[in-house]
A and B are shown apart, each in its own frame.
Chain A
Amino acid sequence: MLTAILVLGGLGLVGGIGLVVASRVFYVEVDPRIDKINDVLPGANCGGCGYPGCRGYAEAVVKGKAKMSDCAPGGTEAVDGIAAILGVEAEKVEPRVAVVRCSGDQDRGKEKFIYDGIADCRSAHRIGGGHKICPSGCLGLGTCSAVCSFDAVVITDRRIAVIDAAKCTGCGNCVEACPRDLIGLYPESHKVHILCSNREKGARVKKYCSCGCIACKLCAKESEHIKMDGLIALVTTESIPEDAPIPEEASLICTPGVILDERHYGHVAWATDPAVRDDFKTRAKAMKKKRKAERDAKKKAKAEAKAAKAPDEKKPDEKKDDEKPAGEDGK
Chain B
Amino acid sequence: MGSFPGGVHPRYEKDLTAGKATRTLDPPAEAVIPMSQHIGAPAKVCVEKGDEVRTGQVVGEAGGFVSSPVHATVSGKVKVIEDRPHPSGKDVLSVVIESDGEDAWVDLDPHEADLLEIPLNEVKERILEAGIVGLGGATFPSHVKLSPPADKTIDTVILNGAECEPYLTADHRLMLEQPRAVAQGLALIARVMGAARGIIAVEANKPDAIQALEAEVGKLSGSVDAKLEVKVLPVVYPQGAEKQLIYALLGREVPSGGLPMDVSALVHNVGTAASMVRAACEGRPLVERIVTVTGDAVKEPDNLSVRIGTPVRELIEACGGYVDDGPAKLIAGGPMMGFAQHTDEVPVIKGTSGILVLSKRLVRRVEPGPCIRCGECIRHCPMKLNPAELVLYAEHDLFADAERVGALDCIECGCCSWGCPASIPLVQHVRKVKVEIMAERAKDRKAS
The CA of A123 and the CA of B436, in the complex, are separated in Å by 10
Nearest residue, chain B, Cβ from A131: B342
In the assembled complex, the CB of A52 is this many whole angstroms from the nearest CB of chain B, namely 15
Please state if A116 and B436 are interface contacts (CB–CB under 8 Å).
no
Which residues of B have CB within 8 Å of A127?
89
Residues of chain B within 8 A of A129, CB atoms compared: 89-91
A118 B342 Cβ-Cβ under 8 A: no
* With A112-B342, A126-B432, A126-B435: A118-B89 Cβ-Cβ less than 8 Å: no
Known: A113-B342, A122-B435. A128 touches B90 (CB 8 A): yes
Which chain B residues border A181 with CB–CB below 8 Å? none
B88: CB under 8 A from chain A?
yes
Candidates A112, A113, A117, A128; contact of B425 at CB < 8 Å: A117
The answer to whether the Cβ of A94 comes within 8 Å of any Cβ in the partner chain is: no
**Distance, CA A270 to CA B89, complexed state (A):** 32
Contact B428 A128 (CB under 8 A): no
How distant is the Cα of A120 from the Cα of B395 in the complex, in angstroms?
A: 9
Inter-subunit contact A113/B340 (CB<8 Å): yes
A-B contact count (CB 8 A): 33
Chain A: minimal CB distance from B271 (Å): 25
Min C-beta distance of A185 to chain B, whole Å: 21
Cβ B365 vs Cβ A116 within 8 A:
yes
Which residues of chain A are near B89, meaning CB under 8 Å? Answer: 127-129
Tally of chain A residues near chain B (CB < 8 A) = 13
Name the distance in Å between B289's Cβ and chain A's nearest Cβ.
Answer: 22
Which residues of A sit under 8 angstroms from B436, Cβ to Cβ? 122
Q: Does B252 contact A (CB under 8 A)?
A: no
Contact residues of A between 109 and 139, Cβ < 8 Å to B: 112-114, 116-118, 120, 122-123, 126-129
Contact B90 A118 (CB under 8 A): no
Q: How far is the CB of A64 from chain B (nearest CB, A)?
A: 23
* Chain A positions 20-59 with a Cβ under 8 Å from a chain B Cβ: none
Binary CB contact string for chain B from 415 to 447 against chain A (1 if under 8 A, 0 otherwise): 000000000010011011001100000000000
Report the minimum CB–CB distance from A111 to chain B (whole Å).
9
| Contact across chains for B432 and A123 when beta carbons are under 8 A apart | yes
Q: How far is the CB of A139 from chain B (nearest CB, A)?
A: 14
B residues 45-94 in Cβ contact with A at 8 Å: 88-91
Mask: chain B, 337-379; 1 = CB below 8 Å from A; 0 = not: 0011011000000000000000000000100100000000000
**Nearest CB in chain B to that of A126: its residue:** B435
> Which listed residue (A112, A113, A114, A118) contacts B428, Cβ 8 A?
A118
Cβ B429 vs Cβ A118 within 8 A: yes
CB-CB under 8 A from A116, the residues of chain B are 365
Contacts of B428 in A (CB 8 A): 117-118, 123
A118 touches B432 (CB 8 A): yes
- One digit per residue, 1 when the CB lies within 8 angstroms of any chain B CB and 0 when it does not, for chain A 148-168 equals 000000000000000000000
Set of chain A residues within 8 Å of B90, measured between Cβ atoms: 128-129
Q: When chains A and B are docked, how far (Å) is the Cα of A113 from the Cα of B91?
A: 14
Nearest-neighbor residue (CB-CB) of B366 within chain A: A116
A33–B196 Cα gap in the complex (Å)? 74
Question: What distance in Å separates the Cβ of B235 from its nearest Cβ neighbour in chain A?
Answer: 29
Q: A112 vs B432: C-alpha distance in the bound complex, in angstroms?
A: 21
Most B CB contacts (10 A, CB to CB) among A112, A114, A117, A128 go to: A128
Query: In the complex, what residues of B have CB within 8 A of residue A122's CB?
Result: 432, 435-436
Nearest B residue to A123, CB-CB: B432
Which A residues touch B431, using CB under 8 A?
Answer: 123, 126
A62 to B326, CA, bound (A): 68
* Minimal beta-carbon separation of A229 from chain B (angstroms): 23
Compute how far the CA of A118 lies from the CA of B365 in the bound complex, rounded to whole angstroms.
12
The distance from the CB of A62 to the nearest CB of chain B, in whole angstroms, is 27
| Closest beta carbon of chain A to B312's beta carbon, Å | 15
A129 to B90, CA, bound (A): 6
**Bound form: Cα–Cα A128–B338 in Å:** 13
Contacts of B432 in A (CB 8 A): 118, 120, 122-123, 126
Chain B residues whose CB sits within 8 angstroms of the CB of A118 once the complex forms: 368, 425, 428-429, 432
Return A25 CB to nearest CB of chain B, in Å: 38
Q: Are B88 and A128 in contact (CB under 8 A)?
A: yes
CB contacts (< 8 Å) of B91 on chain A: these are: 129
Closest residue of B by beta carbon distance from A128: B89
Beyond A117-B428, A120-B432, 17 additional contacts (C-beta under 8 Å) are: A112-B342, A112-B343, A113-B340, A113-B342, A114-B365, A116-B365, A118-B428, A118-B432, A122-B435, A123-B428, A123-B429, A123-B431, A123-B432, A128-B89, A128-B90, A128-B339, A128-B342
29 contacts between A and B (CB under 8 A): A112-B342, A112-B343, A113-B340, A113-B342, A114-B365, A116-B365, A117-B425, A118-B368, A118-B425, A118-B428, A118-B429, A120-B432, A122-B432, A122-B435, A123-B429, A123-B431, A123-B432, A126-B431, A126-B432, A126-B435, A127-B89, A128-B88, A128-B89, A128-B90, A128-B339, A128-B342, A129-B89, A129-B90, A129-B91
- Closest 5 CB pairs between A and B? A128-B89, A113-B342, A129-B90, A123-B432, A112-B342
